[in-house]
Amino acid sequence: MQPFIVIRNYRDDDELKCQELVRDYIMSFVKRSFYCFCFREITLQFIVITWAILFIFIGVPLHFCAMTIPGCIFFLFSGTYFSFYAKAVELMRTKPSQSLVAECYEPFIFRLKPREATYQIFLDESPYEQSYLNKFRKKRIAEPMLNLVSKKCVANGCSSLECTISEWQEEERDFYDNMGFVTRQIYHKQIIGSSLTVMKTLLTYDIHANERSEHSKLETIK
């Protein structure tokens, strides 16, 4: 059975699944963000200041002050987790004016990687009956959807697409690079003044330039 992809408009019954997808995506960066923050200078400063307050002003014995290290790390993890959770809840409640849903149907026993397999792409709905669809497992994908969004943007007169990724989203960065996005700006977003910042990268996809590139490739093949 050949796997296939269905790209369709967002429906009301997709709300729960899309909310779960947004939540899981945002929360997947908690551990990487926590490890990144552990080695920031502000974390060491926070531990030293807490240690000094307990020892100098409260009179806690020095060997008990060492307990501040796991305590500060636990506080850092809790703060990171709940910050991402709050952001996930915020995005889950956001309802965009227009959305697309991409579903990938693959057999339950499927050993090929996505780049090694050939997919049929259908718009709006699948031509197969439900009994046949039950033989597949679903998997959301991004590349066919991005291609369709680009075509819709051209039809609506848009010239480019933009996205912003954080410093710990290296896997996503590789995907956007392969799709033809280029770096437009790198900046630091302040979280706690200048002591705690997150590096952000603004990526731009020139729709018309990439279309011309695809046409030239097709002409070369012919």
Q: What pLDDT, in 10s, does the model give residues 49-96?
A: 887 887 877 877 777 777 778 888 888 888 888 888 888 888 888 877
Domain boundaries, the chain: 4-141, 160-222
Q: Rounded distance, CA 20 to CA 26, Å? A: 10
User: Half-sphere exposure (CA, 13 Å, Cβ side) for 105?
Assistant: 20
pTM equals: 0.56
Comparing 98-112, 144-158, 174-188, 208-222, the range with the smallest average pLDDT is 208-222
Q: What is the mean pLDDT of residues 14-37?
A: 83
With b for 16 or more beta-carbon neighbours within 10 A and e for fewer, the 97-125 pattern comes to eeeebbbbbbeeeeeeeeeeeebeebeee
Nearest to 162 by CA among 206, 200, 199: 206
Check residue 218 and give its pLDDT.
40
- Could you tell me the two tokens for 152? 């819709």
Cα–Cα distance, 71 to 93 (Å, whole number): 33
- CA 15/CA 33 separation, integer angstroms: 27
Query: How would residue 120 be classed by pLDDT, with cut points 50, 70 and 90?
Result: confident
